């Protein structure tokens, strides 16, 4: 008879439902691949009476976490309840009881991943979290296994579906930020408080997780310069398009000389760049390796079934490890001392948009400020904004972040100039 | 002291050189990840005197295969010599001597994969071949591990860099097949006898390998309908573009009701399809899963270092397995009875281009032929070719392969009609 692997699920939202659905639907293939009949024994819910999307037969619903965490027959706990404090507590309890854990909780892994990994190892348990970054795209396992042979130089990700949906709509339908936000909220792509998405916080957490795996470095969220999409105007999108670019919210982690820089912000991508073609709620991660060159992994970044697929692929790995007796080996063993690239050594081209009083001498002053900071211009467009004001768009040559900030600080000091937008520009 | 894992390399061409280079360059990361110092002990070459791309120090060159295959200190054999008969023989010998094998040889794996996998398992040895499909893209491991949770429905691949380079050039520079072939040969992308590439044979072999992993089915090359790019004219590319499509050489493996259809041929892809943006020598594999939806894996399909990266990632897996004592487990344990979808159940839209005598009644006859075969028209364009002949371009509605072939057989029978092109059309 086939061995059984029993699972306890914490949370019965969309991802939890998806996991249960996939385990049932793909039972035959899963048991052929793992040699286990993987089944859900108990599901922790907040409310026993709520209507469920799928039938709740074959397993038990409970509102008491101990029913799951203290059940000796449950070998694996799947945490898909979200939140940080409670989820951390339950996961620690599960690991200490010798249960393997699969989680989709990016916030938790970004903030407490190191602690949880250490506890998992101390208890010889598996801890996997593929679903925490880019939903259905198996990017974490790809970085850890398939790109292990290579020296990864740069990871660029469109890892937030909500903002990518909004920017795609702004670009293709020429709508305003406010209009597309309302649309995204209506469709359920954005929450009523969209802060985490639109301010880039969600993307920053995912970049922290990828940085740990790709470069072996632990970067604090505080050290990730994070800008969102609130400030992007239809004008920026229009001008960028005319210059040959699309604007996307991109998280970038780049290593230079053993130091890493991680940031999230709007980026101008050449239209032919593979990331520029990633539209609507899709995600993609573009990885540059010293040997492999440029690769990209594309797919749905969220959604019930895509995210659940990643959770179940982690469950399959737990099952394979159980069969081989190899549970408890760290998912990622690549570690490096964490060092941050100083601003003087972080280089990029930039797109800048500002307005200034349309009077003799102001343009000269602007060019002097940039010249004195050592920031050269690649392109510059000036056009009247109204009778008294001109809009100026600048694309700089590659410059250090320190130099750019120096120039911008001086522009900000000038009462006749207003800086409206500052985005990185990626070259083809 | 760190454990040693010694490697014998068969072949010292570009990929062999790349493997040696990457093992040296990324030694620190590789040993951190595996716990092994992986080093090359011996390399089998054809000619000892030839100048090498990299220094040949730290290992021995030999022209005698037994020096590698009978060396008890060599734990892993990397086969990057190409060819079929000799490579098969050496690999069998290595496996029977208890050595793990990593190969980049798609021809061999497509033709004799099943036999080699069985011998590897009987001898408790690892046999990996990630580099055999799509060079630097870790597509095989992704299908086997990360998509194991899902039911894969369809795999579409641009898996031949040479033809993709040629079609990109034909599209962007409006050159003829002959011109771009000459260019590809000059750049080293195409061989002096380009048959394997331009006739789709290379792509068909890769599709056989992916079909085995994605659907657990063993398809013979004879059962893969294979068409190449020789017949594609600048007119086809131009007309397709005007209709909103790009022409790419695509391998498709699709499962329907437990049966599989695998084919290779020119395909019209909507311009917004992710595969349509894959240009020049790049490869990409687009996978549709029941749960995950659409994902795509993009990267360099060939080249010294990208291909060598995949070989080294396989070596890393061998090393990890050695540390955990888990060598010899089949790379892929998903198996299904092989059944082929009958032509009556293989559906697609088609693009057809033909010329016909420009006289009253011919067009009527053409439409009658298609109507009688039950093939409907989605789009139809007719324009004069010369004073006596008209060119007709048809995009059909979705139709079965059997119906289409029936219609085409009748067109072929008509002396006043010449069928020039027949390509599948993918809808967005």
The whole-number average pLDDT for the span B143-155 is 92
Query: Model confidence at A371, in pLDDT bands (50, 70, 90)?
Result: very high
Q: Is the pLDDT of residue A84 over 70?
A: yes
Mean per-residue pLDDT of chain B: 94
Within 8 A of A33 by CB-CB distance, chain B residues are: 148, 333-334
Residue B1 is predicted with a pLDDT of 54
Query: Model confidence at A302, in pLDDT bands (50, 70, 90)?
Result: confident
Q: What is the pLDDT of residues B37-57, one digit of tens each?
A: 999 999 999 988 887 766 778
Dist CA A374 CA A341 (whole Å): 20
Give the gap in angstroms from C-alpha A426 to the nearest C-alpha of chain B: 18
Q: Is the pLDDT of residue A369 over 60?
A: yes
**A331 or A90: which leads in pLDDT:** A90
Among A26-35, A142-151, B254-263, the range with the most confident prediction by mean pLDDT is: B254-263
Say whether B294 and A316 touch across the interface (CB within 8 A). no
Domain ranges within chain A, ordered by starting residue: 3-135+304-324, 140-300, 343-425
Q: Is the pLDDT of residue B113 over 80?
A: yes
Within 8 A of B76 by CB-CB distance, chain A residues are: none
- Cα distances from B22 to residues A141, A218, B305, B404, B408, in angstroms, run 21, 26, 8, 50, 52
Residue A188 is predicted with a pLDDT of 87
Say whether A29 and B334 touch across the interface (CB within 8 A). yes
CATH 3.10.50.40 at B3-135+304-324, yes or no: no
The whole-number average pLDDT for the span B162-179 is 96
Residue A318 is predicted with a pLDDT of 96
Q: Is the pLDDT of residue A123 over 60?
A: yes
The whole-number average pLDDT for the span A387-407 is 95
Residue B227 is predicted with a pLDDT of 97
Tell whether A188 is in a known binding site: no
Query: Model confidence at A34, in pLDDT bands (50, 70, 90)?
Result: very high
Query: Model confidence at A391, in pLDDT bands (50, 70, 90)?
Result: very high
Q: Is the pLDDT of residue A356 over 80?
A: yes
Residue B386 is predicted with a pLDDT of 87
Say whether B142 and A137 touch across the interface (CB within 8 A). no
Query: Model confidence at B30, in pLDDT bands (50, 70, 90)?
Result: very high
Within 8 A of A136 by CB-CB distance, chain B residues are: 291-293, 295
Q: Is the pLDDT of residue A419 over 90?
A: yes
Q: What is the pLDDT of residues B212-225, one digit of tens each?
A: 999 999 999 999 99
Catalytic pick among B169, B206, B349, B422: B206
Nearest to A149 among B146, B291, B316 (CB): B316
Tell whether A301 is in a known binding site: no
Q: Is the pLDDT of residue A180 over 90?
A: yes
Residue A50 is predicted with a pLDDT of 81
Query: Model confidence at B190, in pLDDT bands (50, 70, 90)?
Result: confident
Q: Is the pLDDT of residue A51 over 80?
A: no
Mean per-residue pLDDT of chain A: 94
Q: Over pLDDT 70: what percentage of chain A?
A: 99
Q: What is the pLDDT of residues B338-373, one digit of tens each?
A: 999 999 999 999 999 999 998 889 999 999 999 999
Tell whether B127 is in a known binding site: no
Residue A2 is predicted with a pLDDT of 75
The complex scores an ipTM of 0.91
Class of domain B343-425: alpha beta
CATH homologous superfamily of B148-300 equals Dihydrodipicolinate Reductase; domain 2 (3.30.360.10)
Instruction: Give me the CATH topology for the region A140-300.
Output: Dihydrodipicolinate Reductase; domain 2 (3.30.360)
Q: Is the pLDDT of residue A1 over 60?
A: no
The whole-number average pLDDT for the span A57-70 is 95
Tell whether A10 is in a known binding site: yes
Catalytic residue numbers of A read 206
Nearest to B26 among A150, A299, A313 (CB): A150
Within 8 A of B300 by CB-CB distance, chain A residues are: 292-295
């Amino acid at each position: 008879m086939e061995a059984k692997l029993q699972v306890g699920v914490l949370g019965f939202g969309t991802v939890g439902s998806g996991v249960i659905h996939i385990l049932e639907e793909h039972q035959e293939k899963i048991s052929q691949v793992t040699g286990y009949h993987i089944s859900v024994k108990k599901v922790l819910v907040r409310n026993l009476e709520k209507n469920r999307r799928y039938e709740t037969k074959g397993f038990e619903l409970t509102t008491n976490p101990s029913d799951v965490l203290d059940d000796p027959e449950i070998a694996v706990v799947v945490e898909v309840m979200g939140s940080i404090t409670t989820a951390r507590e339950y996961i620690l309890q599960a690991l200490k009881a010798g249960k393997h854990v699969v989680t989709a909780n990016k916030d938790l892994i970004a903030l407490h991943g190191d602690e949880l990994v250490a506890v998992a190892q101390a208890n010889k348990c598996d801890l996997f979290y593929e679903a925490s970054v880019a939903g259905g795209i198996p990017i974490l396992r790809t970085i850890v296994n398939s790109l292990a042979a290579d020296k990864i130089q740069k990871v660029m990700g469109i890892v937030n579906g909500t903002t990518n949906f909004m920017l795609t709509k702004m670009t293709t339908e020429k709508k305003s930020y406010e209009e597309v936000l309302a649309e995204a909220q209506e469709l359920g792509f954005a929450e009523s408080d969209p802060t985490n998405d639109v301010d880039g916080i969600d993307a920053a957490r995912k970049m922290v997780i990828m940085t740990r795996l790709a470069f072996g470095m632990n970067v604090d969220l505080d050290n990730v310069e994070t800008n969102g999409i609130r400030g992007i105007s239809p004008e920026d999108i229009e001008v960028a398009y005319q210059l040959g670019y699309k604007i996307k919210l991109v998280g970038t982690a780049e290593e230079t000389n053993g130091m890493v820089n991680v940031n999230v912000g709007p980026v101008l991508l050449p239209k032919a760049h593979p990331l520029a073609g990633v539209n609507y709620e899709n995600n993609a991660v573009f990885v540059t390796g010293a040997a492999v060159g440029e690769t990209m992994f594309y797919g749905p970044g969220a959604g019930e079934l895509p995210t659940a697929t990643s959770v179940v692929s982690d469950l399959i790995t737990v099952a394979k490890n159980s069969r081989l007796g190899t549970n408890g080996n760290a998912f990622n063993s690549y570690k490096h001392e964490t060092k941050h690239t100083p601003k003087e050594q972080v280089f990029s081209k930039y797109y800048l948009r500002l307005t200034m009083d349309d009077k003799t001498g102001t343009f000269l002053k602007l060019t002097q400020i940039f010249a004195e900071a050592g920031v050269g211009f690649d392109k510059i467009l000036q056009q009247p904004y109204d009778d008294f004001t001109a809009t100026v768009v600048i694309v700089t040559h590659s410059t250090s972040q320190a130099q750019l900030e120096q120039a911008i600080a001086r522009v900000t000091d000038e009462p006749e100039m207003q800086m409206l937008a500052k985005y990185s520009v990626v070259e083809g």
